[in-house]
């Protein structure tokens, strides 16, 4: 029987589409909404099961950026994982929303356009077309009527709307922040466009760091809630830990250090007070130096006249050569460092060095360097005069950008003090501070009235003492930073702001601010050089004004797309409240662990913000999260063009069919584990699928055999359980086992149930075979089979295990004695004998041996080595010739 999978797959894809079987509407809400579902009876949306309607289930995969090269097999794996789940839930009777869309704006398309001399718009549109075709061919059961594409003004207008809402609520501000700048390109460069400190297009042009006014969103307003709610999420532990560390809550104190007036140059600064964040106020008597960040905006105010030259040289030598790129990496390390130290089972993150403490270790990999600024501070606890250094390892925007150096109790400070010959003062007893810093607990010494206290208690006492004297207070610091959303790029959402000569910053209320299509690439920012776009009239005074030319970070787009799916055609609002109330939150979100922090934090922030605006009535967007494993090439390496190990879905489809590919990908490993592609492997899957098709041509429909019925019920139970827990590979093993036990005659019910179990994995051929069995409806819309516990005969199951074990034992012995086609004598106790006789053939096929069973007490027994004596109940003796 030839298996024309191309034809079968095309046939069913067409039928699914024609009959729109995957399109859904929220039950009870009239589909002609827009009027915000006013017609829907009150209270009808949230508990559909009580009123006899189906419960909703929202399955969502992270939407892709549509690249020109199309889907790769890794995508295919991710989406198939979601599709299996969506199909399964649909068959279980849920009203399943399973949509797909495209994260269409962003730098890669713009870059590709610049290089190819194309415009990003048609370029991206084509890429999307290609993606949709490939997704259809994968048999993914998306509701395409819900498609969302972020490049359409119908979508990004709401980005602008939300931005203005945030502005209104005081969640948006402008601040200077550094960017990479190439003088020759006359444009800002993304970090990826900086290669070794040089421009990607001008190999010998050094990238400058410029301070530009940019837009920030106050994500930190929600830091506490973002942290608190993590525990309630049904997410992988490692993602939860990564988020906690990203938010990075530290409890400590802010202690005020006074800069010594007489060395200060400017009068205003003469009684400058500097709050310094520390998690270790108990070590305050051990401070022997301070370090201020080399990137701090007020650094130069601290540098004395006679030190200016030296400090300037230092900055050029060991700070400025680091591009923003390098700096960004360091900041990242802060959060991942914490991760490594707290999550021992964490895998896959290469950056970040395990360490016991603080921000100071961000440069563990680099050199901690510094130089004296000429200034001093007064330690408020004992009025000691302490030198201030500038250092390349202190983060400018964490705490206050200055740290207390306590070399006796912090290893980094210890190294620094040794390097610059700064005194080391022990204040906690326990270690040998001649050799290294003592970082553990202990009792305070050299700390005046706090001597003798355990350091944990001393923390409290010292904070209280300082608070009383107005010299400090308890504080909490977060590593989470406000979100810089300004991008000096073309292919993004224009930020709806105008700058008026008279009125200053004016929000552009006339939305959308359309992205102009006719622009010049390669000569500065295409928006800034477009006069029609830039020059506008002020909407307040009608005077001369200029548009903001920054566009938004595309993470803005992906922070709320899951809401738009619920109501993608609404042209009056971003989404209808009723529809979102019905579908949200997403019940199952699926995507890569690389989005553990940015995307998932921004999306959670957005949900909270929209809730507080009154648009939403829930706190968290994604109830459950699943991270799929990576797919590697057959060489075990990451797939990449240069290695030539990229697997193209189109080719796989031609050679093996998509059902085979799906079946193969999911049988390789648990969906959250990494796996390697294998051509041999997919051939094996093809063979198995052909066997199924052949079997359905010849099987005779008869009444059920009890044994098969038992096995069928047991398999339904197991497969249901496995799919529920994303153990698809184990589900597939059980499905294979069931099929392998099928005799030539079988009942219609068992066959139908088998197809249903297989359906989520192989949707096309199961539709085909379902039809062959005489069914008129779609198996895609069938009910998931129920098992009958009473029909599962555990005895039969045990017998099967027993038979399997004998087969395995024989194989094992065969390997040891190295006989190729042996005759095997099996000596069973009399009660075991009938089972072995009945299953002689099975054991034979399993082991490739001729099997001759004996009862141990048989008078004519052939037993040259007396193995019959070794037989026990459930464990026969075996002899091989
Ligand atoms: C004195 C001290 C003594 C510190 C000691 C630690 C150990 P976490 O827990 O990550 O919040 N720190 C403060 N601001 C910093 C900045 N802008 N850049 C780099 N490091 C900074 O780390 C808090 C600790 O990191 C603070 O506590 C401070 O050093 C340092 F035995 O103060 B500690
Ligand atoms: Zn350049
Ligand atoms: Zn104006």
Q: Tens of pLDDT along 414-459?
A: 999 999 999 999 999 988 999 999 999 999 999 999 999 999 999 9
* Mutation to probe ligand 1, out of 246, 250, 278 (largest number of atoms < 8 A from CB): 278
**Other beta carbons less than 10 A from residue 445's beta carbon:** 16
Q: Which ligand is nearest to the CA of 522?
A: 2
How far away, in angstroms, is 537 Cα from ligand 3 center?
A: 8
250 C-beta closer than 6 A to ligand 1: yes
HSE on the CB side for 865, CA within 13 Å?
12
Q: Which ligand is nearest to the CA of 277?
A: 1
How far away, in angstroms, is 639 Cα from ligand 2 center?
A: 30
Residue 194, strand partner residues = 199
* Mutation to probe ligand 1, out of 245, 257, 279, 406 (largest number of atoms < 8 A from CB): 279
Residue nearest to atom 9 of ligand 1 (CA): 358
pLDDT interval class at 765 (50, 70, 90): very high
Q: Which ligand is nearest to the CA of 193?
A: 2
Which atom of ligand 1 lies nearest, measured to the CA of 250? 11
DSSP 8-state symbol, 799: H
Whether residue 88 contacts residue 723, with contact meaning beta carbons closer than 8 Å, is answered with yes
d(CA 486, CA 554): 10
**Other beta carbons less than 10 A from residue 507's beta carbon:** 17
The pocket of ion ligand 2, defined by CB under 5 A, consists of 182, 184-185, 199, 201-202
Reply yes or no on whether the pLDDT at 614 is more than 80: yes
Distance of CA 702 to CAs 196, 692, 736, 747, 787, Å? 73, 18, 21, 5, 20
DSSP 8-state symbol, 63: P
pLDDT at 321: 54
Give which of 427, 411, 430, 428 is closest to 419, Cα–Cα: 411
pLDDT interval class at 214 (50, 70, 90): very high
Write out the two tokens for 825. 């004598």
pLDDT at 348: 22
Write out the two tokens for 467. 């608070």
Which atom of ligand 1 lies nearest, measured to the CA of 338? 10
756 C-beta closer than 6 A to ligand 1: no
Write out the two tokens for 246. 């990203």
Residue 378 or 707, more confident = 378
How far away, in angstroms, is 506 Cα from ligand 3 center?
A: 7
**Other beta carbons less than 10 A from residue 351's beta carbon:** 14
Q: Report the pLDDT averaged over residues 710-732.
A: 96
Among 331-335, 351-355, 447-451, 594-598, top mean pLDDT goes to 447-451
pLDDT interval class at 320 (50, 70, 90): low
The pocket of ion ligand 3, defined by CB under 5 A, consists of 500, 502-503, 538, 540-541, 543
* Mutation to probe ligand 1, out of 255, 356, 403, 440 (largest number of atoms < 8 A from CB): 403
pLDDT at 99: 98
Q: Report the pLDDT averaged over residues 786-793.
A: 92
DSSP 8-state symbol, 271: G
Give percent of the chain above pLDDT 70: 90
405 C-beta closer than 6 A to ligand 1: no
Give which of 273, 477, 305, 307 is closest to 389, Cα–Cα: 307
Q: Tens of pLDDT along 125-163?
A: 999 999 999 999 999 999 999 999 999 999 999 999 999
d(CA 775, CA 369): 76
Question: How wide is the angle at C-alpha 52 spanned by C-alphas 51 and 56, nearest 5°?
Answer: 90
392 C-beta closer than 6 A to ligand 1: no
Residue nearest to atom 22 of ligand 1 (CA): 358
pLDDT at 346: 23
d(CA 88, CA 783): 9
Which atom of ligand 1 lies nearest, measured to the CA of 401? 17
pLDDT interval class at 838 (50, 70, 90): confident
How far away, in angstroms, is 551 Cα from ligand 2 center?
A: 20
- The DSSP string of 547-601 is E---EE-TTTGGGTHHHHGGGTT-SSSSS-HHHHHHHPSEEEEEE-GGGTTHHHH
How far away, in angstroms, is 739 Cα from ligand 2 center?
A: 62
Residue 293, strand partner residues = 391
Q: Which ligand is nearest to the CA of 279?
A: 1
pLDDT interval class at 202 (50, 70, 90): confident
615 C-beta closer than 6 A to ligand 1: no
Reply yes or no on whether the pLDDT at 848 is more than 90: no
Residue nearest to atom 27 of ligand 1 (CA): 278
455 C-beta closer than 6 A to ligand 1: no
Q: Report the pLDDT averaged over residues 168-179.
A: 92
How far away, in angstroms, is 252 Cα from ligand 1 center?
A: 9
477 C-beta closer than 6 A to ligand 1: yes
HSE on the CB side for 819, CA within 13 Å?
16
Give which of 722, 786, 721 is closest to 749, Cα–Cα: 786
Report, in this order, helix, strand and coil percent for the chain, each rounded to 5: 45, 20, 40
pLDDT at 454: 97
Reply yes or no on whether the pLDDT at 503 is more than 80: yes
Q: Tens of pLDDT along 11-61?
A: 999 999 999 999 998 763 434 333 333 333 433 333 334 445 689 999 999
How far away, in angstroms, is 593 Cα from ligand 1 center?
A: 29
pLDDT at 94: 95
359 C-beta closer than 6 A to ligand 1: yes
Distance of CA 560 to CAs 99, 154, 259, 746, Å? 14, 14, 47, 50
HSE on the CB side for 295, CA within 13 Å?
24
pLDDT interval class at 62 (50, 70, 90): very high
How far away, in angstroms, is 112 Cα from ligand 3 center?
A: 38
Least confidently predicted of 12-21, 240-249, 350-359, 474-483: 350-359
Q: Report the pLDDT averaged over residues 590-612.
A: 94
278 C-beta closer than 6 A to ligand 1: yes
């Amino acid at each position: 029987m030839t298996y024309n999978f191309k034809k079968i797959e095309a046939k069913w894809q067409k039928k699914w589409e024609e009959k729109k079987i995957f399109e859904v509407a929220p039950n009870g809400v009239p589909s002609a909404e827009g009027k915000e579902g006013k017609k829907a009876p009150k209270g009808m949306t949230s508990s559909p099961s009580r009123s006899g309607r189906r419960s909703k289930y929202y399955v969502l995969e992270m939407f892709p950026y549509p690249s020109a090269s199309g889907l790769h097999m890794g995508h295919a794996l991710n989406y198939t994982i979601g599709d299996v789940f969506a199909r399964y839930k649909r068959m279980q009777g849920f009203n399943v929303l399973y949509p797909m869309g495209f994260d269409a704006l962003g730098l890669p398309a713009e870059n590709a356009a610049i290089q190819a001399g194309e415009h990003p718009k048609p370029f991206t549109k084509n890429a999307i077309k290609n993606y949709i075709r490939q997704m259809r061919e994968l048999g993914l059961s998306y509701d395409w009527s819900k498609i969302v594409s972020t490049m359409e003004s119908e979508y990004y207008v709401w980005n602008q709307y939300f931005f203005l809402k945030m502005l209104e609520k005081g969640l948006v501000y402008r601040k200077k922040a550094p960017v990479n700048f190439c003088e020759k390109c006359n444009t800002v460069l993304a970090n990826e466009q900086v290669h070794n400190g040089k421009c990607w297009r001008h190999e010998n042009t050094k990238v400058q760091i410029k301070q530009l006014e940019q837009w920030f969103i106050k994500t930190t307003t929600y830091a506490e809630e973002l942290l608190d709610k993590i525990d309630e999420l049904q997410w992988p532990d490692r993602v939860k830990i990564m988020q906690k560390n990203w938010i990075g809550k530290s409890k400590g104190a802010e202690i005020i250090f006074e800069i010594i007036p007489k060395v200060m140059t400017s009068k205003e600064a003469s009684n400058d007070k500097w709050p310094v964040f520390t998690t270790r106020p108990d070590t305050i008597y051990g401070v022997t130096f301070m370090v201020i960040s080399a990137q701090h905006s007020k650094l130069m105010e601290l540098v004395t006249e006679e030190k200016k030259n030296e400090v300037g040289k230092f900055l050029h030598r060991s700070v400025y050569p680091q591009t923003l790129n390098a700096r960004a990496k360091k900041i990242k390390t802060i959060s991942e460092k914490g991760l490594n130290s707290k999550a021992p089972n964490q895998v896959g993150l290469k950056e970040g060095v395990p360490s016991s403490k603080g921000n100071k270790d961000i440069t563990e990999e680099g050199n901690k360097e510094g130089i004296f600024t000429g200034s001093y501070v007064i330690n408020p606890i004992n009025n000691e005069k302490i030198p201030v250094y500038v250092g390349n390892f202190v983060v400018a925007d964490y705490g206050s950008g200055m740290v207390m150096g306590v070399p006796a109790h912090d290893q980094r400070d210890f190294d620094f003090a040794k390097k610059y010959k700064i005194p080391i003062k022990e204040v906690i007893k326990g270690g040998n501070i001649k050799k290294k810093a003592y970082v553990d607990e202990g009792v305070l010494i050299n700390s005046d009235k706090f001597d003798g206290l355990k350091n944990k208690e001393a923390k409290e006492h010292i904070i209280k003492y300082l608070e009383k004297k107005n010299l400090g207070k308890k504080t909490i610091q977060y590593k989470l930073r406000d979100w810089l959303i300004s991008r000096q790029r073309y292919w993004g959402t224009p930020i709806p702001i105008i700058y008026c000569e008279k009125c200053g910053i004016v929000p552009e209320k006339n939305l959308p601010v359309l992205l102009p299509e006719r622009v010049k690439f390669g000569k500065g920012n295409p928006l800034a050089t477009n006069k029609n776009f830039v020059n506008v009239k002020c909407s307040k005074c009608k005077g001369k004004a200029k548009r903001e030319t920054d566009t938004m970070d595309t993470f803005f787009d992906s922070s709320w797309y899951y809401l738009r799916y619920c109501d993608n055609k609404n042209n009056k609002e971003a989404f209808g409240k009723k529809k979102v109330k019905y579908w949200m939150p997403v019940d199952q979100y699926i995507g890569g662990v690389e989005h553990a922090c940015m995307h998932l934090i921004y999306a959670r922030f957005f949900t909270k913000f929209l809730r507080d605006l009154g648009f939403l009535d829930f706190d968290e967007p994604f109830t459950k999260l699943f991270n799929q494993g990576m797919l590697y090439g057959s060489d075990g390496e990451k797939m990449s063009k240069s290695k030539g190990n990229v697997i193209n879905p189109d080719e796989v489809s031609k050679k093996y069919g998509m059902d085979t590919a799906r079946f193969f990908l999911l049988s390789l490993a648990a969906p959250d584990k990494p796996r390697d592609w294998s051509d041999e492997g997919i051939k094996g899957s093809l063979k198995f699928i052909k066997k199924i098709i052949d079997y359905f041509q010849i099987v005779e429909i008869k009444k059920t055999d009890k044994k098969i019925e038992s096995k069928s019920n047991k398999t339904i139970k197991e497969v249901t359980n496995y799919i529920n827990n994303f153990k698809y590979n184990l589900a597939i093993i059980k499905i294979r086992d069931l099929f392998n036990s099928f005799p030539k005659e079988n009942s219609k019910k068992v066959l139908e149930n088998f197809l249903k179990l297989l359906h989520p994995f192989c949707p096309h051929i199961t539709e085909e075979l379902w039809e062959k069995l005489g069914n008129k409806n779609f198996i895609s819309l069938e009910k998931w089979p129920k098992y009958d516990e009473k029909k599962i005969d555990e005895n039969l199951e045990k017998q099967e295990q027993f038979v399997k074990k004998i087969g395995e034992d024989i194989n094992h012995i065969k390997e040891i004695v190295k006989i190729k086609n042996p005759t095997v004598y099996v000596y069973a106790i009399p009660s075991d004998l009938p089972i072995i006789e009945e299953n002689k053939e099975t054991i034979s096929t399993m082991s490739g041996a001729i099997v001759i069973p004996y009862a141990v007490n048989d008078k004519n027994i052939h037993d040259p080595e007396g193995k019959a004596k070794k037989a026990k109940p459930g464990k026969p003796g075996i002899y091989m010739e």
